Chains A and B, each alone.
Chain A
Amino acid sequence: LAKTTQPISMDSYEGQEVNITCSHNNIATNDYITWYQQFPSQGPRFIIQGYKTKVTNEVASLFIPADRKSSTLSLPRVSLSDTAVYYCLVLNTDKLIFGTGTRLQVFP
Chain B
Amino acid sequence: GAVVSQHPSWVICKSGTSVKIECRSLDFQATTMFWYRQFPKQSLMLMATSNEGSKATYEQGVEKDKFLINHASLTLSTLTVTSAHPEDSSFYICSARPIGTTLSTDTQYFGPGTRLTVL
A14: Cβ under 8 A from any B Cβ: no
Interface segment among B14-22, B79-87, B103-111: the answer is B103-111
Indicate if the CB atoms of A31 and B46 lie closer than 8 Å.
no
Find residues 92-119 in chain B having any chain A CB closer than 8 Å to their own CB.
Answer: 93-95, 103-113, 115
The residue on A at minimum CB distance from B49 is A95
The 8 Å CB contact of A49, one of B46, B105, B113, is B105
Given contacts A43-B110, A43-B113, contact A32 B44 (CB under 8 A): no
> Out of A31, A46, A96, which one reaches B104, CB within 8 Å?
A31
Are the CB atoms of B106 and A91 closer together than 8 Å? yes
- Chain B contributes a number of interface residues (CB within 8 A of A) equal to 25
Query: In the assembly, what is the distance between CA of A90 and CA of B71, in Å?
Result: 25
Q: Counting CB contacts under 8 A, is A55 at the interface?
A: no
B3 to chain A, nearest CB (A): 11
Q: Which of B45, B91, B93, B106 gathers the greatest number of chain A CB atoms within 10 Å?
A: B106
Question: Which stretch from A17-25, A67-75, A76-84, A98-106 is at the chain B interface?
Answer: A98-106
